Structure 1
Amino acid sequence: MGHTYWEMAPKSTVPTTSGPVRGLVLDGMHRFLGIPYAAAPVGAHRWRPPAPQEGWRLPRDAFAYGSVCAQNNISYPGFGFSSNTEDCLYLNVYAPEGVDAGAKLPVMVWIPGGGLFIGGSNDHDPSALVKDGRVVFVSFNYRINVFGFFSHPAINAEDHEIGNYGIMDQQAALRWVRDNIAGFGGDPANVTIFGQSAGAISVWCHLMSPASAGLFHKAIVQSGGASPLVATRGTRDFEQTGLDLARDAGATRHTSEELRALQTSDLLAANLLPEGTFGAGKYEIGHTVDGSVLPEPMADLFTSGRFHQVPVINGTTRTEFHWFQGMLELSTGQPVPAESYGPILSQALTTLPDMLLGRSVSPDRFEDVAKTYRPEDYGSASEAMSAAIGDCGVISLGNQRVNRVLRRFVEDVYSYEFDAPHTATPWPPVSFPYGSAHTKDLQYLFPGFRGASGAPVPLEGEDLRLASTMVHYWSTFARHGTPNSPASQYPAWNRYDAVRDNAMLLTVPESREIENFGDRHHATFWDDVSGAAG
Structure 2
Amino acid sequence: MVRTAIGRMTGAVAAAVTLLVGGLVGAASPAAAADGGGFASPASARACLARTGLGRVQGVARGAVCAYLGVPYAAPPTGARRFRPPAPPSPWPGTLAASTAKPGCPQDLSVGSGVGVEDCLYTQIWQPRTGGGRKPVMVFLHGGADELGAANEPDFDGSALAARGDAVVVSVDYRLGLLGWTELGGIDARYAGSGNNGLRDEVAALTWVRQQIAAFGGDPGRVTVFGQSAGAISISAMLAGDHPERLFQHAVVESGPGYLVHTRQYAQDAAAHVLAAGNVTGVAQLAAMSTDQLLQLQQKAQQGVSGPADALFFGPYIDGTLIPGPVVDRIAAGSARRVDVMLGTTENETDYWALFDPRVLDLPLSAYRSFPAVLADRKQQMYQVYAADRPGLPPGRVVNAMLTDQVFRVPTLRMAEAQARWRPTHVYRFDWHVPYVAGLPEAQNLGAMHTEEVPFVLGNLELGAYPRGAATLAAERSQLTALSQDMMDAWAAFARTGSPGWPSYTPAARTTKLWDVPERLRNAPQDNERVLWDDYSFPAWSLEPWAAQG
TM-score bracket for this pair, using the shorter chain length: 0.7 to 0.9
Whether 2:377 is the aligned partner of 1:364: answer: yes
Whether 2:505 is the aligned partner of 1:496: answer: yes
Amino acid aligned to 2:530: A
Q: Residue 466 of structure 1 is aligned with which of 456, 468, 483?
A: 483
Aligned to 2:89: 53
Q: Residue 152 of structure 1 is aligned with which of 184, 193, 199?
A: 184
Greater displacement, 458-467 / 495-504: 458-467
**Residues 222-257 of structure 1: CA distance to partner in whole angstroms, max 9, x if unpaired?**
1123x2x467412x6633532331242353xx2222
Aligned to 2:524: 516
Whether 2:255 is the aligned partner of 1:241: answer: no
Q: CA 1:372–1:468 in 2, change beyond 3 Å: closer, same or farther? A: same
Q: CA 1:399–1:95 in 2, change beyond 3 Å: closer, same or farther? A: same
Instruction: For residue 164 of structure 1, give the secondary structure of its aligned residue in structure 2.
Output: helix
Greater displacement, 459-468 / 158-167: 158-167
Residue pairs, 1:170-209, within 5 angstroms? 170-209=202-241
Q: Is the 8 A contact 2:188 2:283 kept in 1?
A: no
Aligned to 2:296: 269
Q: CA 1:378–1:197 in 2, change beyond 3 Å: closer, same or farther? A: farther
Could you tell me how far 1:104 is from its partner in structure 2? 0.5
Q: Residue 396 of structure 2 is aligned with which of 360, 363, 382?
A: 382
Q: Is the 8 A contact 2:185 2:193 kept in 1?
A: no
Whether 2:443 is the aligned partner of 1:416: answer: no
Instruction: For residue 345 of structure 2, give the secondary structure of its aligned residue in structure 1.
Output: strand
Q: CA 1:278–1:125 in 2, change beyond 3 Å: closer, same or farther? A: farther
Amino acid aligned to 1:119: G
Instruction: For residue 353 of structure 2, give the secondary structure of its aligned residue in structure 1.
Output: helix
Q: CA 1:471–1:279 in 2, change beyond 3 Å: closer, same or farther? A: same
**Residues 382-411 of structure 1: CA distance to partner in whole angstroms, max 9, x if unpaired?**
3222112112x331122222221111111x
Whether 2:60 is the aligned partner of 1:24: answer: yes
Return the alpha-carbon distance in structure 1 between the equivalents of residues 202 and 166 of structure 2: 24
Amino acid aligned to 1:136: V
Q: Which fold has the larger relative contact order, with Cα–Cα distance below 8 Å and residues 6 or more apart in sequence?
A: 2
Report the TM-score, using the length of structure 1 for normalisation.
0.81
Q: Is the 8 A contact 1:9 1:26 kept in 2?
A: no
Amino acid aligned to 2:416: N
Could you tell me how far 1:282 is from its partner in structure 2? 8.3
Q: Is the 8 A contact 1:12 1:25 kept in 2?
A: yes
Q: Residue 322 of structure 1 is aligned with which of 351, 366, 380?
A: 351
Q: CA 1:9–1:423 in 2, change beyond 3 Å: closer, same or farther? A: farther
Aligned to 1:108: 138
Q: CA 1:290–1:279 in 2, change beyond 3 Å: closer, same or farther? A: closer
Return the alpha-carbon distance in structure 1 between the equivalents of residues 278 and 465 of structure 2: 27
Return the alpha-carbon distance in structure 2 between the equivalents of residues 276 and 294 of structure 1: 26
Aligned to 1:117: 147
Q: Residue 478 of structure 1 is aligned with which of 495, 501, 509?
A: 495
Task: Extract unaligned runs of 5+ from structure 2.
Answer: 1-39, 539-550
Amino acid aligned to 1:214: R
Instruction: For residue 95 of structure 1, give the secondary structure of its aligned residue in structure 2.
Output: strand
Task: Extract unaligned runs of 5+ from structure 1.
Answer: 1-5, 76-80, 350-358, 485-492
Instruction: For residue 316 of structure 1, give the secondary structure of its aligned residue in structure 2.
Output: strand
Q: Is the 8 A contact 2:240 2:328 kept in 1?
A: no
Return the alpha-carbon distance in structure 1 between the equivalents of residues 466 and 115 of structure 2: 17
Amino acid aligned to 1:344: A
Whether 2:319 is the aligned partner of 1:290: answer: yes
Q: Is the 8 A contact 2:262 2:315 kept in 1?
A: no
- How many residues in Structure 1 have an aligned counterpart in Structure 2? 482
Return the alpha-carbon distance in structure 1 between the equivalents of residues 509 and 326 of structure 2: 30
Q: CA 1:304–1:246 in 2, change beyond 3 Å: closer, same or farther? A: same
Q: Which has the higher helix share?
A: 2
Q: CA 1:464–1:368 in 2, change beyond 3 Å: closer, same or farther? A: same
Q: Is the 8 A contact 1:341 1:381 kept in 2?
A: yes
Return the alpha-carbon distance in structure 2 between the equivalents of residues 151 and 43 of structure 1: 18
Instruction: For residue 209 of structure 2, give the secondary structure of its aligned residue in structure 1.
Output: helix
Amino acid aligned to 1:523: R
Could you tell me how far 1:151 is from its partner in structure 2? 1.2
Could you tell me how far 1:525 is from its partner in structure 2? 2.8
Q: Is the 8 A contact 1:241 1:283 kept in 2?
A: no
**Residues 128-161 of structure 1: CA distance to partner in whole angstroms, max 9, x if unpaired?**
3211110010111001211111112466511765
Amino acid aligned to 2:411: G
Instruction: For residue 171 of structure 1, give the secondary structure of its aligned residue in structure 2.
Output: helix
Return the alpha-carbon distance in structure 2 between the equivalents of residues 500 and 282 of structure 1: 34
Q: Percent identity?
A: 29
Q: CA 1:431–1:267 in 2, change beyond 3 Å: closer, same or farther? A: same
Return the alpha-carbon distance in structure 2 between the equivalents of residues 231 and 11 of structure 1: 43
Return the alpha-carbon distance in structure 2 between the equivalents of residues 389 and 308 of structure 1: 30
Could you tell me how far 1:531 is from its partner in structure 2? 8.5
Could you tell me how far 1:41 is from its partner in structure 2? 0.9
Q: CA 1:454–1:40 in 2, change beyond 3 Å: closer, same or farther? A: farther
Q: Residue 331 of structure 2 is aligned with which of 291, 302, 312?
A: 302
Return the alpha-carbon distance in structure 2 between the equivalents of residues 38 and 177 of structure 1: 11
Instruction: For residue 169 of structure 1, give the secondary structure of its aligned residue in structure 2.
Output: helix
Q: Is the 8 A contact 1:10 1:25 kept in 2?
A: no
Q: Is the 8 A contact 1:152 1:240 kept in 2?
A: no
Whether 2:118 is the aligned partner of 1:91: answer: no
Whether 2:64 is the aligned partner of 1:33: answer: no
Aligned to 1:489: none
Report the TM-score, using the length of structure 2 for normalisation.
0.79
Q: Is the 8 A contact 2:427 2:505 kept in 1?
A: yes
Return the alpha-carbon distance in structure 2 between the equivalents of residues 435 and 9 of structure 1: 49
Aligned to 1:401: 414
Q: CA 1:206–1:239 in 2, change beyond 3 Å: closer, same or farther? A: closer
Could you tell me how far 1:32 is from its partner in structure 2? 0.2
Instruction: For residue 444 of structure 1, give the secondary structure of its aligned residue in structure 2.
Output: helix
Instruction: For residue 72 of structure 1, give the secondary structure of its aligned residue in structure 2.
Output: strand
Return the alpha-carbon distance in structure 2 between the equivalents of residues 462 and 335 of structure 1: 31
Q: CA 1:70–1:453 in 2, change beyond 3 Å: closer, same or farther? A: farther
Aligned-residue RMSD, C-alpha: 3.3
Q: Residue 253 of structure 2 is aligned with which of 198, 207, 221?
A: 221
Instruction: For residue 48 of structure 2, give the secondary structure of its aligned residue in structure 1.
Output: strand
Could you tell me how far 1:59 is from its partner in structure 2? 0.7
Amino acid aligned to 2:318: V
Return the alpha-carbon distance in structure 2 between the equivalents of residues 295 and 342 of structure 1: 37
Q: Is the 8 A contact 1:149 1:287 kept in 2?
A: yes
